[in-house]
Structure 1
Amino acid sequence: MRLTQEQLEQFDRDGYLFFPGQFSPEETRTLTDEVPRLYSRREAYNIREKGSDAVRTNFAAHMVSEPFARLARHPRMVQPVMDLFGEQVYMHQFKINGKAAFEGDVWQWHQDYGTWLNDDMMPTERAMNVAIFLDDVNEHNGPLMFIPGSHKKGVVEARHDLTTTSYPLWTVDNDLIGKLVERAGGKNGGIVSPKGPAGSMILFHSCLVHASGSNLSPWHRVSVYLSLCAVSNHIRRFKRPEFIAHRDFRPIEMLPDDCLRKPYPVELPWKDGLPASALQTSSVPFDEMKQAA
């Protein structure tokens, strides 16, 4: 899948692209059928909601699950990012975010690059998310909210929120959110929420300010996020466990476009459990570790 010149210009202007129904029901079902098994595992990579057994985020499914390992190499997800960067990419992060019916909690306003910079020492914002809906997304089940064009501000000031929800995040101040929304059009398009059927895909800039509300509806809202980073822009610190911020900087080798319909062989290095190395962290920058070695 290659981006057109019009799509490249739209991405530059708005900071995101939305592709309704990009994956067929058959392809999407291959993924959704795997989620209950992944969520049921009592592993560190399943982060659960406060006071609930509902999974908020499952990390690194591509290391333990064949369908998700193939998705991680899918040309419909990887090629557009390579088109935007003009460079090969590696998998910085792979997560399945669950907004369980009645229990899915909020994600506060933030920029993903804010976390990648502050926690992982990623040099620049040459990384972005590409996401696929595993459920239909509507206005009631906690859709993503974007502030169009907010990526043009670059990295904005953020604070490290360790208490509000079940997952630490570098969040953006409400006053700045108000200014960014007004700048983007206020009540006339200052906030947008892409909605569509399961199998829809979103590509968005790592500096695009976004959030999502809680899910009070009776419908789940599960999405998969591939955070792809230009190989030259790999992280410089391993402060977070490897199952959250990956350390394999080799370029992704894409599979054929029918890889969710055919069982192409893939490696599953963590299928039998997390190795001890996936839990180890270090505050020493990567370059210093290499010099010491």
Structure 2
Amino acid sequence: MKLTPEQRAQFERDGYLFFPGHFSAEETKALTDAVPDLYGKREAFNVREKGSDAVRTNFAAHLISEPFARLARHPRMVEPVVDLFGEEVYMHQFKINGKMAFEGDVWQWHQDYGTWLNDDLMPTERAMNVAIFLDEVNEHNGPLMFIPGSHRKGVVDARHDRTTTSYPLWTVDNELIAQLVDRAGGKDGGIVSPKGPAGSMILFHSCLVHASGSNLSPFNRVSVYLSLCAVSNHIRRHKRPEYIAHRNFTPIEMLPDDCLLKPYPVEVPWKNGLPESALKTSLEVLDTAEA
């Protein structure tokens, strides 16, 4: 799936591209049917909301579940990122975020690259998030909020927030958010929220400032977030466990386009539980000649 010149120009301008209904209902169902089993596991890779048993984030599903292992190799997801980078990519992070009905908490304003830089020593912002809706996303169930064009600011100052929610983030302060929103158009387009049916997909720049509010509605908002990084830009430190920030820098080998509908063989090495190595961390900087 190659991007058009118009799409590439839009990405450069706004920092994101939205593809409503990118995956069919049947393809999406193959993924949603696998979520309850993943969320039901009592493993470190399931981070739960503060004061609740609801899953906030599930990590590394592509190493545990065959449907998500196939999604991680889907050409409709991988090819546009390769096209933008002009280079093969590896899977830096794989999350299924569960903004569950009545219980889904906020994600503070942040840049993803802020965390990847500060925690993982990722050299540059040549990495990107791909969000795929597993539920309909509407104005009521905590949609993503983007500040269009904020990626052009580059890496901004951030603080490590460990207290607001159950998952720590390098967050952006309110004064800078107000400035960025005003620059992007204020009340007239300074914040946008892509909404659409299950199966929709968003590509967004790793420096695009974004957030989402709590979900007070009776509608779940479960989405997959795949973070793809240019192979030459792999992380240089393993400060976070492997189930959060992956250490296999091998380029993704894509499957055929119908891979969510047919049982193509895939490896799921953690299907029987996390190995001990997936929990280990290190503050040492990698030797890039050996990585």
The TM-score, its normalising length taken from structure 1, stands at 0.98
Unmatched segments (≥5 aa) in structure 2: none
Residue equivalent to 1:275: 275
What are the Cα deviations for residues 239-273 of structure 1, in whole angstroms up to 9, with x where unaligned? 00000000000000000000001000000110111
Amino acid of the structure 2 residue aligned with 1:237: R
Change (3 A) 1:288 1:77: closer
- Count of equivalent residues: 291
For residues 204-243 of structure 1, the aligned pairs below 5 Å read: 204-243=204-243
Percent of paired sites with the same residue: 83
Residue equivalent to 1:261: 261
Residue equivalent to 2:149: 149
- Cα distance in structure 2, aligned partners of 1:2 and 1:54: 38
Amino acid of the structure 2 residue aligned with 1:41: K
Change (3 A) 1:19 1:288: closer
Tell me how far 1:228 sits from its aligned partner.
0.0
Considering only aligned residues, what root-mean-square deviation do their CA atoms show, in Å? 1.1
Amino acid of the structure 2 residue aligned with 1:154: G
Maintained 8 Å contact 2:111/2:208: yes
What are the Cα deviations for residues 163-210 of structure 1, in whole angstroms up to 9, with x where unaligned? 100000000000000000000000000000000000000000000000
SS of aligned partner of 2:62: helix
Tell me how far 1:288 sits from its aligned partner.
8.1
Amino acid of the structure 1 residue aligned with 2:77: M
SS of aligned partner of 2:287: helix
Amino acid of the structure 1 residue aligned with 2:161: D
- Cα distance in structure 2, aligned partners of 1:265 and 1:258: 13
Maintained 8 Å contact 2:236/2:288: no
What are the Cα deviations for residues 31-85 of structure 1, in whole angstroms up to 9, with x where unaligned? 0000000000000000000000000000000001000000000001000000000
- Cα distance in structure 1, aligned partners of 2:246 and 2:91: 7
Residue equivalent to 1:121: 121
Maintained 8 Å contact 2:108/2:171: yes
- Cα distance in structure 1, aligned partners of 2:229 and 2:290: 21
List, as ranges, runs of 4+ consecutive aligned residues in structure 1 with deviation greater than 4 Å. Answer: 288-291
The TM-score, its normalising length taken from structure 2, stands at 0.99
Residue equivalent to 2:200: 200
For residues 35-54 of structure 1, the aligned pairs below 5 Å read: 35-54=35-54
Tell me how far 1:286 sits from its aligned partner.
1.1
SS of aligned partner of 2:115: helix
Maintained 8 Å contact 2:148/2:208: yes
SS of aligned partner of 2:69: helix
Maintained 8 Å contact 2:243/2:278: yes
Amino acid of the structure 2 residue aligned with 1:82: V
Tell me how far 1:289 sits from its aligned partner.
10
Tell me how far 1:287 sits from its aligned partner.
1.5
